Amino acid sequence: MIVWIIVAVIVVLLVLWAVSVYNGLIKLRNLVQEAWRQIDVELKRRHDLIGNLVETVKGYAAHERGTLEDVMKARSAAMAGGQSPAQQAQSEGMLSQALGRLIAVAEAYPDLKANQNFLALQQELTSTEDRIASARRYYNANVRELNTKVETVPSNVVAGMFKIGREEYFEAEGAERDAVKVDFGQRDATIPAPSGYAAGTEASVPASPPVAAPQTPSDTVPPTDTAPGSPTQS
């Protein structure tokens, strides 16, 4: 009888442990989904702002057709539905590169740079990028915690029983990590040194005075007035 009671207690404890682990996994999965929805909201806002930015640039630089089309194609790819977080991150990375080229083109148009609508859109886009970065960190933190539970013993047993799998991170990979390089045609130009510098030394700093060589005892003995051939004084 006692044996059956011990067995029943062990079974109950195992069930309670399994329920606790399962509830923890479900909580983490819900946090991941919630964090992804926050990213999705900010991404939609980003896409809208980029569309408005392109329309503003088009009014001043309509002949920059190739750059404008590249941005709109990348925007359409990023807005496509059914993408996994990894695929979405890759699409957003390509859009960021196209957007960087568009901003570089805008630098050549002073009237566009001074346009209040253009400046306001840039500011809103910068703020949105900051929120996306913050939401991405929160999402990836929850994904890391869920994946750790799914892959480690003994919680992986419960995860396998209820088919709770790993989630994908939302982060750029490969070339999408590199900053957009802007070249104004002066990459190979020789840039003279500033006028305040000469041979790597600032002109405003006076040169150090020469250091005198240390005197030896023979240098301090005054010369004698004895003419050659004179008797030496004792």
d(CA 99, CA 50): 8
Residue ranges of the chain with pLDDT lower than 50? Answer: 174-214, 216-234
Give the number of other Cβ atoms within 10 Å of residue 13's Cβ: 10
**pTM of the prediction?**
0.70
The token duo for 157 is 């047993």
Which pLDDT value is given to residue 206? 45
| pLDDT recorded at residue 226 | 45
Cβ neighbours of residue 229 under 8 Å, at least 6 residues apart? none
In sequence order, the 6+-apart residues with CB closer than 8 A to the CB of 136 are 39, 170, 171
- The pLDDT of residue 84 is 93
Two tokens, residue 182: 């802007």
205 φ, ψ (degrees, to nearest 5) = -90, 115
Percent of the chain having pLDDT more than 70?
Answer: 73
DSSP H helical ranges for 152-199? 155-161
- Determine what percent of the chain falls in helix, strand and coil, rounding each to the nearest 5: 65, 0, 35
Interval 199-215: pLDDT, tens: 444 444 444 444 444 45
Please name the residues in contact with 20: beta carbons below 8 A apart, sequence gap of 6 or more. none
